[in-house]
Chains A and B, each alone.
Chain A
Amino acid sequence: MGELTGFLQLTGARKGRKTILKESYSEGAFKLTRPLYLTQTGEAYFYIMNPGGGYVDGDSYRMKIFLEDAAVAVLTTQSSTKIYKTKSKPAYQEMDIYLKSGSVLEYLPDPVIAYQDACFKQNMVVRMEPDSSFLCSDIITPGWAPDGSWFQYDLVQSKVKIYMGERIVLFDHVKLEPDVDTTGIGIMEGFTHFGTILVIDSRIDSAFVEGLQERLELMSAVRIGLSILAVPGFALRVLANSTQAIEAILSLCHEIVRTNLFKIEPVFLRKY
């Protein structure tokens, strides 16, 4: 890959009760806030800023996140990732995450909005110790086209690979490439917005997933799929008709994970 549009690297380390920013470096169109402490439990909150305003032709972004032993961090964005016309070369985002023993990372970015003729690929690779925890969410929404229709983007592709040691423990590959079938059965099922939350944590068992399922069953006007993974963890998928509806599901899920699993107070990151 040629020159990056934005690069960001951060290392979080545990110091006493608190997680501190041990090292950070950014370049181009990525900026990182100083760590904030929104709760009493000492986890660090980082906001990624992209002053550029949106991704266009050939933009490429890269992030590297390291959490040292027992570091606990929450990473989010300050606004949605908007993908505009990318006719000649797709916009690309790559993220490498390294989680050492006992560390916890929550990555909860704002939605990706793909406008007309947008082509966006994101790749995440996580290398984690079996006793570290990882949570990430992803929301893909179609932007309005000038003629008022949805799904005028060309491609949104999102890949997540999670490794423990040399072994792959999760591979998620979502590829939305709108065609005549997209809105219907098997793909969007009549919905417009799509969201995912993946959680890997050694304490997750079928009883936890069952409990989560019961709470989620009360949500209406959305379609949710939830299943336990090949390693302790779960994947939740949701189809809905608005960003708010997806965010409501994902924050409920996030809250339950924090309260019942991580045993820390819930936190509300979104700006609605």
Chain B
Amino acid sequence: MNNQLLTLLQIGDSNFPSGAFSHSFGLETYIQDGTVHNQETFFHWLRIYLEKQLVYTDGLAFRLTFDHLADNHLTEIWQLDQTLYVQNLPIETRQANRRIGERFIKMGIDLYSIPLLEQYLAKIREGEAYGHPAIVFAMISDDLKIDRDEAMVTFLYSTITSLVQNGVRGIPLGQTAGQRMLVEIQPYVWKAMERIKCLEREDFGAVAPGLEIAQMRHERLHVRLFMS
């Protein structure tokens, strides 16, 4: 046991002020059209989001960032940052990740004064990078010498936790139902991590058509609790 556990609990906490609580990543579209309306339908959406989108985008980006850092291939990380931005076709989720990413960088700088994050922020200000939470989370974890896979599973779980909390607010569901979902999703989160470990770089960025269309359609919702 060491203080890396507490660090992961802190940066993976859904109360960590990254702004993730303002974004549903298309979930709200499903809530409004009635497709997601209870614990069961929400769980189904959540699992698909994890397995068919998160794994191939943020999850794989996280692992690639870690691997590039180990090889000291910074150029590849900046390319990954650009690719993450341009592969995100719905404008709201593209902006969501950019905003969350940038806030995450600033928190990281304030808390741990990591020179690489200063460099990342400078690149964003020069218009050469955009910012993405997966890259930032990986950079912080790497700097603090946290085990890659532990950091990766925490990152996935943290993303899922934010979405569960947003679903609990948006559907709405009881707090106990939300917590029950977090228990049930855990084996899928582990499975997702194992899957990411086996992916190739060529697998990066695969999208699930329905999820992406819902993220695009979110722009057109009349009443919105969430920014994406």
Interface residues, chain A, with chain B CB atoms under 8 Å away: 157, 167-176, 181, 184-189, 194, 213, 223-230, 235, 237-239
| Interface status of B62 (Cβ within 8 A of chain A) | no
- What residue in chain B is nearest A234 (Cβ atoms)? B89
Which secondary structure characterizes the binding site on chain A? strand
Q: Give the residues in chain A near B179, CB-CB below 8 Å.
A: none
Q: Are the C-beta atoms of B213 and A228 separated by less than 8 Å?
A: no
Kindly supply a per-residue 1/0 record for chain B positions 37-62, scoring 1 wherever the CB is within 8 Å of any chain A CB and 0 otherwise.
00001001100110111001000000
Q: Are the C-beta atoms of A235 and B89 separated by less than 8 Å?
A: yes
Which positions 192-212 of chain B face chain A at CB distance < 8 Å?
203-212
Given A168-B82, A181-B48, A187-B52, A225:B214 Cβ within 8 A = yes
Tell me, in angstroms, the Cα distance from A175 to B85 when the chains sit together.
19
Tell me, in angstroms, the Cα distance from A227 to B48 when the chains sit together.
22
Q: Are the C-beta atoms of B210 and A186 separated by less than 8 Å?
A: yes
Q: Give the residues in chain B near A184, CB-CB below 8 Å.
A: 44, 48
What are 11 of the A-B contact pairs (CB < 8 Å)? Answer: A168-B86, A170-B86, A172-B87, A173-B56, A184-B44, A186-B48, A186-B49, A224-B213, A225-B215, A239-B210, A239-B213
Question: Which of B35, B91, B203 lies in contact with A185, CB distance below 8 A?
Answer: B35
Distance in Å: Cβ of B113 to nearest Cβ of chain A:
30
Q: Give the residues in chain A near B79, CB-CB below 8 Å.
A: 168
Tell me, in angstroms, the Cα distance from A12 to B109 when the chains sit together.
52
- What residue in chain A is nearest B98 (Cβ atoms)? A230
Question: Which of B91, B209, B214 lies in contact with A188, CB distance below 8 A?
Answer: B209
Binds A, one of B65-73, B133-141, B180-188, B216-224: B216-224
Most chain B CB within 10 A, of A174, A184, A186, A239, is at A186
Q: Give the residues in chain B near A213, CB-CB below 8 Å.
A: 220
Distance in Å: Cβ of B101 to nearest Cβ of chain A:
14
Q: Give the residues in chain A near B36, CB-CB below 8 Å.
A: 185
- What residue in chain A is nearest B44 (Cβ atoms)? A185
Given A213-B220, A225-B214, A174:B209 Cβ within 8 A = yes
Q: Give the residues in chain A near B48, CB-CB below 8 Å.
A: 181, 184-187
Tell me, in angstroms, the Cα distance from A177 to B128 when the chains sit together.
34
Give the tally of cross-chain contacts (CB within 8 A): 102
Distance in Å: Cβ of B217 to nearest Cβ of chain A:
6
Q: Which 9 A-B pairs have the closest CB atoms?
A: A225-B216, A225-B213, A186-B48, A175-B206, A171-B87, A173-B205, A189-B210, A235-B89, A227-B216
Question: Which of B35, B89, B213 lies in contact with A172, CB distance below 8 A?
Answer: B89
Q: Are the C-beta atoms of A181 and B91 separated by less than 8 Å?
A: no
- What residue in chain B is nearest A177 (Cβ atoms)? B206
Q: Are the C-beta atoms of A230 and B52 separated by less than 8 Å?
A: no
Tell me, in angstroms, the Cα distance from A120 to B65 when the chains sit together.
29
Tell me, in angstroms, the Cα distance from A169 to B82 when the chains sit together.
8
- What residue in chain A is nearest B94 (Cβ atoms)? A230
Distance in Å: Cβ of A132 to nearest Cβ of chain B:
17
Q: Are the C-beta atoms of B205 and A171 separated by less than 8 Å?
A: yes
Distance in Å: Cβ of A127 to nearest Cβ of chain B:
15
Q: Give the residues in chain A near B51, CB-CB below 8 Å.
A: 181
Q: Are the C-beta atoms of B87 and A173 separated by less than 8 Å?
A: yes
Q: Give the residues in chain A near B220, CB-CB below 8 Å.
A: 213
Q: Are the C-beta atoms of B86 and A169 separated by less than 8 Å?
A: yes
Q: Give the residues in chain B near A225, CB-CB below 8 Å.
A: 90, 212-217
Tell me, in angstroms, the Cα distance from A175 to B217 when the chains sit together.
21
Most chain B CB within 10 A, of A168, A229, A237, A239, is at A237
